[in-house]
């Protein structure tokens, strides 16, 4: 236990004798920081305490020399005070970064992102590593276009970028959700994978709309048919998406199970389909939380749907996309290719599947 009275006495006397400070229990490096602080005229009582190591003392000393308010982070629980000092210097809200659970690299990424007016703390609080935060930070707003095509599969995003876009740039690899920005017939567009299911779609579309200023998202994906008149590889333009799930409930809407696509964007897609002689069937779809092919009683499942909706197909992401878009005042549509049918036992070649998906992709790109 250090003699606090003797320490305070030597601070008051501005003692610069190394042996005196070392006799009071400070090691050589700590002693150097104390003496430098005294020589430079700062209040060393802020950090002349046994709980601070030499690196922490140095960060506090340099902050005091810059006349920064170091009181917010003058606490030994913060191992990486240099980052905190730089945060104070840049005028950050210290509540965003002062968390003893954050590593040095996490603190650094929060600070660097803050300089770009981008808040990473919500990711840091979820436990993301510094490397993941770095990748998020490097996905700059200017790299993401106002219109986004959103397949679920990251490799489909890669396929679209490589086969349909020019001047392509990879703009995201976080969690392997690949995203590319390029041009299609001179128009800039981003292709960003969403992953599978409403939770994943909800995260990505919200962040694109809210934090990257995206205005339009067109989901492009596959679906299973619940309609006898639909054939394999038909293209569906979703009007309304129905779910039995609780996605909207989590947003404090207790009884919301239908989300609508954007009328203006859908009209644009319909007109584009007509211009390009692409058959596009408009209808309502189910947005499910599980793969219906695994269900024990599919007919009973289908019979639960509201009859007035005339649900023609099933997929897993559109409700979340439409709901978030409407919530934020943005535009969203969904194009789907039928890849299997409850009513028809049809087989297809890989060439047929590729062509049908290409038709949907072209329709989406021509509509931007």
pLDDT of residue 343: 77
Beta strands in the chain (DSSP E): 147-150, 166-172, 179-184, 187-192, 216-225, 235-242, 258-260, 280-287, 311-315, 331-341
Catalytic residue among 79, 153, 289, 340: 340
340 is a catalytic site residue:
yes
Per-residue pLDDT of the chain (368 residues; tens, 9 = 90+): 678 889 999 999 999 999 999 999 999 999 999 999 999 999 999 999 989 999 999 989 999 999 998 888 888 888 778 888 888 888 887 877 888 888 888 888 888 888 877 788 888 888 888 888 887 777 777 899 999 999 999 999 999 999 999 999 999 888 889 999 999 999 999 999 999 999 999 999 998 998 889 999 999 999 989 888 998 899 999 999 999 988 988 887 778 899 999 999 999 999 999 999 999 999 999 999 887 766 777 778 888 888 899 999 999 999 999 999 999 999 999 999 998 887 777 666 667 766 778 999 999 999 99
How far apart are alpha carbons 111 and 120 in whole angstroms? Answer: 9
Q: Which domains does the chain have, with CATH numbers?
A: 1-67 (no CATH), 144-366 (3.40.50.1580)
Residue with tokens 């995203």: 179
């Amino acid at each position: 236990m250090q003699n606090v009275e003797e320490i305070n006495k030597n601070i008051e006397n501005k003692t610069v004798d190394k042996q005196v400070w070392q006799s009071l229990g400070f090691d050589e490096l700590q002693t150097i920081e104390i003496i430098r602080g005294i020589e430079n005229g700062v209040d060393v009582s802020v950090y002349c305490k046994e709980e601070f190591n030499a690196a922490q003392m140095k960060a506090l000393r340099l902050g005091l020399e810059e006349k920064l308010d170091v009181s917010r982070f003058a606490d030994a629980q913060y191992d990486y005070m240099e980052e905190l000092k730089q945060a104070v210097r840049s005028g950050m809200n210290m509540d965003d970064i002062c968390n003893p659970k954050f590593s040095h690299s996490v603190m650094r990424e929060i600070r660097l992102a803050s300089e770009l007016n981008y808040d990473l703390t919500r990711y840091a609080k979820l436990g993301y590593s510094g490397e993941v935060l770095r990748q998020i930070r490097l996905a700059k707003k200017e790299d993401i276009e106002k219109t986004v095509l959103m397949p679920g599969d990251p490799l489909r995003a890669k396929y679209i970028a490589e086969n349909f876009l020019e001047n392509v740039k990879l703009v995201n690899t976080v969690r392997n959700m690949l995203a590319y920005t390029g041009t299609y017939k001179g128009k800039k567009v981003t292709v960003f994978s969403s992953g599978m299911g409403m939770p994943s779609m909800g995260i990505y579309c919200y962040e694109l709309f809210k934090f990257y200023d995206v205005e339009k998202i067109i989901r492009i994906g596959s679906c299973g048919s619940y309609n006898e008149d639909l054939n394999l590889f038909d293209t569906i333009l979703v009007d309304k998406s129905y779910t039995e799930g609780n996605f909207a409930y989590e947003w404090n809407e207790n009884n919301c199970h239908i989300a609508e696509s954007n009328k203006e964007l859908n009209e644009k897609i319909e007109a584009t389909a007509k211009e390009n002689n692409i058959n596009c069937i408009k209808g309502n779809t189910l947005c499910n939380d599980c793969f219906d092919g695994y269900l024990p009683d599919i007919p009973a499942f289908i019979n639960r749907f509201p009859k007035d909706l005339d649900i023609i197909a099933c997929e897993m992401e559109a409700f979340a996309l439409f709901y978030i878009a409407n919530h934020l005042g943005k535009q969203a549509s969904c194009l789907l290719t039928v890849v299997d049918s409850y009513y028809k036992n049809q087989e297809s070649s890989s060439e047929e599947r590729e062509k049908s998906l290409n038709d949907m992709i072209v329709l989406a790109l021509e509509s931007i």
